[in-house]
Amino acid sequence: MIDYALPNERGHFGMFGGRYVPETLMQPVLELEIEYEKAKKDPEFQAEVKRLLEEYVGRDTPLFFAENLTKHSGGAKIYLKREDLNHTGAHKINNAIGQALLAVRMGKRKIVAETGAGQHGVATATVCALLKLDCIVFMGEEDVKRQALNVFRMELLGAKVVSVKSGSATLKDAVNEALRYWVANADDTHYLLGSVMGPHPFPMMVRDFQSVIGNETREQILEREGKLPEAVVACIGGGSNSMGMFYPFIGDTDVKLYGVEAAGRGIDTPYHAASLTKGRPGVVHGSLMYLLQNEDGQIQEAHSVSAGLDYPGVGPEHSYLKDAGRVIYDSITDEQALSAFQLLAQLEGIIPALESAHAVAFALEQAAKMKETETLIICLSGRGDKDVDTVRSIIKRGESQ
Amino acid sequence: MNRIQETFKQLKENGQKAFVPYIMAGDGGLGCLADRLLTLEKFGASLIEVGIPFSDPVADGPVIQQAGIRALANSVSLRDVIVELKRTKGNISVPILFMTYLNPILSYGVERFAEDIREAGIDGCIIPDLPVEEEDIIAPLLEKANVELIRLVTLATPPERIEMISQKGNGFLYTVTVKGITGTRKEYQSGIGEFLEEVKRLSAIPVLAGFGVSNEEQARELASFCDGVVVGSRIVELFIKNDLQGIEKLVSSLHKETMI
């Protein structure tokens, strides 16, 4: 066991994290920190979060023993934490509920959010519909084209989706626009950031709201196996599902934690999203973290078949845990993820999100190296309905070649 | 006394206000940077802000974003700008300030950055994504190199914080006069004059107003409440149109003869 109490009062995880924001945003982030600390200690607030997570989201999510997958890999017992069964189909809503309730508590009735693939945007629009909050979602023009169905979903839920044409017109530019919007509208608007990134207190707060994943998993596995798992595996884009899964296990040093980044077409090509594996520390979007950047410090585009992992940075806490050696970070290519996507569908009747398929691919390799008496848990962060079109067109292309 | 302080002392003695234009280094190619600086000095700029292009400029509006994209398309880096200014050092006599986001500095190396920009004759540095809470990452190095870190306050900054921030600097206090990002505005929100006067009262150092200044009238109005103005997007636009007359009119708008 180790004691772990990060971030410090300045929002730093070692050298990472912090609040690298324009002065205009200092008041909003300081106010947010104070309000969040109050809410955290308020039993009424916590009860309301819990109630919505149970009655609206459908928690607890099951911990499923994947017997067929286990036989296939021939090693450790593999369990799946079924975040794909949450309302809206992914873990994103855990955080959206928490932050939206916090916004209401702060008297802010307008929400701005960024989205890449659209999962966080849909989760945010959903909660805003429920709580009668105005919702504006910034989304890169490229992603708007690639994820037309999710754009329609958000609009159906009453959100206004703004297509971002600046920069590379993807997730990082959507974050820029959301930050610019917040700079101008912080008086009545809360920025509902979707991952464990951005200025303090966001990385800590999003981690806390997502920790429901790891807390449930810990209880469930102790009940089923009578012991903690030997390994826990989760995918990493910005890093929210993995941080929520890992956090309750950080003190248990016997539990190996594996974070899986997107290697895209390969980490030795320019087309990947492996910020921890190939990036170096830098500052963007309010935080010091590992970043894909060129030698002049210009932020580079990330690439992955999975839009949710397609981000050039990674949360500051992951950056810290990498340097501290507590979490092992590795990467999985598009091709490996696509195979795992199909394999899980065939073996277990579960179609995972392409993001989660990265974790599945890595876990299969890892489990094979482990003993049959050991257990490994995969955070199945989302379901794959959103990706079937993408996968179908890739398989078709493969067949025609 | 550094050159920025000397400039403000001189302005005060002459009963003048400061006009600080901004240009994006590398917009139009790095070759025109020295010329543009000379032009601005000739028209009467008190200090000049030189922007460094960055891929993700969250504090900037469309005009400066586009200027940055053009500069990056010309492959202009922080390193190139420092080398160019070092080469042309001595051509102009007004103080030069860098306006750069933090990451290009981190990538360049903070220690080397502080030393190299001093050698290139840069007098000060504005880092819009570096609040005072995080400035230890570079402030001591800039101080050692005798480069002034210019800090910002905004409409959202409470009085005690304005006072705290102003006490950290020796140059001037950059006061953001809009709730939002850079870019021209038709008008300011009411009470902007009172706000500037309040900042002026709290600040131990000269106070400049910036963000959103679009024309001579606005420049004169804002300057009447403080020690001068910074104008960015409008200058960038005028350079694109090569409207030198327009630039001259704007930059000289605070000269005594035009103030009457």
Q: Inter-chain contact B154–A172, Cβ cutoff 8 Å?
A: no
Average pLDDT value for residue range A293-297: 97
Q: Inter-chain contact A27–B102, Cβ cutoff 8 Å?
A: no
How far apart (Å, rounded) are the C-alpha atoms in residues B146 and B165?
19
Instruction: Pick the residue from chain A with its C-alpha nearest to B161.
Output: A27
How far apart (Å, rounded) are the C-alpha atoms in residues A261 and A259?
7
Q: Inter-chain contact B55–A23, Cβ cutoff 8 Å?
A: no
pLDDT over 70 at A96, yes or no: yes
Residue A18's H or E segment, with its range, is strand A16-20
How far apart (Å, rounded) are the C-alpha atoms in residues A111 and A188?
9
Annotated catalytic residues of A are 92, 114, 381
Question: What confidence tens digit (pLDDT) does each residue in A264-288 have?
Answer: 999 999 999 999 999 999 999 999 9
Cα Rg of chain B (Å, integer): 17
From the list B102, B156, B176, the residue facing A283 with the nearest CB is B102
Percentage helix, strand, coil for chain A under 3-state DSSP, each rounded to 5? 50, 20, 30
Contact between A125 and A158 under an 8 Å Cβ cutoff? The reply is yes
On chain B, the residues whose CB falls within 8 A of the CB of A24 are 154-156, 176, 179-180
Instruction: Pick the residue from chain A with its C-alpha nearest to B132.
Output: A23
Q: Could you tell me the pLDDT band of residue A308, with boundaries at 50, 70 and 90? A: confident
On chain A, the residues whose CB falls within 8 A of the CB of B151 are 23
Our CA-based measurement puts residue A166 at a distance from the nearest CA of chain B, in whole angstroms, of: 8
Instruction: Pick the residue from chain A with its C-alpha nearest to B137.
Output: A15
Give residue A288's pLDDT: 98
Average pLDDT, chain A: 96
Closest CA to B172 of B18, B10, B15, B14: B18
Our CA-based measurement puts residue A26 at a distance from the nearest CA of chain B, in whole angstroms, of: 8
pTM score of the predicted model: 0.97
On chain B, the residues whose CB falls within 8 A of the CB of A176 are 56-58
Q: Does ipTM come in above 0.90?
A: yes
Mutation target among A29, A31, A296 for the B interface, most CBs of B within 10 A:
A296
Q: Inter-chain contact A24–B108, Cβ cutoff 8 Å?
A: no
Q: Inter-chain contact B104–A297, Cβ cutoff 8 Å?
A: yes
DSSP readout, A197-252? -SSTTHHHHHHHHHTHHHHHHHHHHHHHHSS--SEEEEE-SS-HHHHHHHGGGTT-
Closest CA to A313 of A167, A171, A209, A134: A171
On chain A, the residues whose CB falls within 8 A of the CB of B161 are 26
Contacts of A377 (CB under 8 A, 6+ apart): A63, A78, A79, A80, A81, A217, A221, A229, A231, A232, A233
How far apart (Å, rounded) are the C-alpha atoms in residues A320 and A115?
25
Question: What confidence tens digit (pLDDT) does each residue in A109-120 have?
Answer: 999 999 988 999
Contact between A362 and A233 under an 8 Å Cβ cutoff? The reply is yes
pLDDT over 80 at A401, yes or no: no
Question: What confidence tens digit (pLDDT) does each residue in A64-79 have?
Answer: 999 999 999 999 999 9
Q: Inter-chain contact A299–B55, Cβ cutoff 8 Å?
A: yes
Q: Inter-chain contact A24–B78, Cβ cutoff 8 Å?
A: no
Our CA-based measurement puts residue B246 at a distance from the nearest CA of chain A, in whole angstroms, of: 28
Give residue A71's pLDDT: 98
Instruction: Pick the residue from chain A with its C-alpha nearest to B68.
Output: A167
On chain B, the residues whose CB falls within 8 A of the CB of A285 are 56, 58
Q: What is the dihedral of CA A176, A180, A185, A191, to 10 degrees?
A: 20
Annotated catalytic residues of B are 49, 60
In Å, how far are A23, A94, B51, B118, B119 from B23, measured between CA atoms?
22, 45, 6, 19, 21
Our CA-based measurement puts residue A4 at a distance from the nearest CA of chain B, in whole angstroms, of: 23
Task: Indicate the DSSP class of residue A90.
Answer: B
Give residue B257's pLDDT: 58
Task: Indicate the DSSP class of residue A7.
Answer: S
From the list A166, A176, A296, the residue facing B78 with the nearest CB is A296
Q: Inter-chain contact A285–B59, Cβ cutoff 8 Å?
A: no
Q: A169 — alpha (psi -120 to 50), left (phi > 0) or beta?
A: left
How far apart (Å, rounded) are the C-alpha atoms in residues B57 and B64?
9
Low-confidence ranges of chain B (pLDDT < 70): 256-260
From the list B56, B128, B179, the residue facing A184 with the nearest CB is B179
Q: Inter-chain contact A285–B79, Cβ cutoff 8 Å?
A: no
Closest CA to A169 of A186, A151, A146, A197: A146
Q: Could you tell me the pLDDT band of residue A168, with boundaries at 50, 70 and 90? A: confident
How far apart (Å, rounded) are the C-alpha atoms in residues A343 and A167?
37
On chain A, the residues whose CB falls within 8 A of the CB of B56 are 167, 172-173, 176, 284-285, 299
Phi first, then psi: what are they for A74, rounded to 5°? 75, 25
Instruction: Pick the residue from chain A with its C-alpha nearest to B56.
Output: A176
Taking any CB pair shorter than 8 Å as contact, residues of chain B touching chain A are 54-59, 61-62, 65, 69, 72, 77-79, 101-108, 128-131, 133-134, 151-158, 161, 176, 179-181
Mutation target among B113, B129, B136, B176 for the A interface, most CBs of A within 10 A:
B129
Average pLDDT value for residue range A221-237: 98
Instruction: Pick the residue from chain B with its C-alpha nearest to A9.
Output: B133
Q: Inter-chain contact B180–A19, Cβ cutoff 8 Å?
A: no
From the list B55, B179, B181, the residue facing A167 with the nearest CB is B55
Domain B3-10+18-254 in CATH: superfamily? Aldolase class I (3.20.20.70)
Contact between B78 and A41 under an 8 Å Cβ cutoff? The reply is no
Question: What confidence tens digit (pLDDT) does each residue in A135-162 have?
Answer: 999 999 988 988 888 999 999 999 999 9
pLDDT over 60 at A95, yes or no: yes
Contact between A320 and A13 under an 8 Å Cβ cutoff? The reply is yes
For the beta sheet containing A189-191, the strands, ordered from the edge strand earlier in sequence to the opposite edge, are A160-164, A134-140, A110-115, A189-191
Give residue B260's pLDDT: 46
Give residue B259's pLDDT: 54
pLDDT over 60 at A5, yes or no: yes
Q: Inter-chain contact B129–A20, Cβ cutoff 8 Å?
A: yes
Mutation target among A10, A21, A24, A32 for the B interface, most CBs of B within 10 A:
A24
Q: Inter-chain contact B107–A299, Cβ cutoff 8 Å?
A: no
Closest CA to A100 of A182, A205, A243: A205
Q: Inter-chain contact A183–B179, Cβ cutoff 8 Å?
A: yes
From the list A22, A185, A186, the residue facing B129 with the nearest CB is A22
Terminal Cα-to-Cα distance of chain A (whole angstroms)? 53
Q: Inter-chain contact B176–A283, Cβ cutoff 8 Å?
A: no
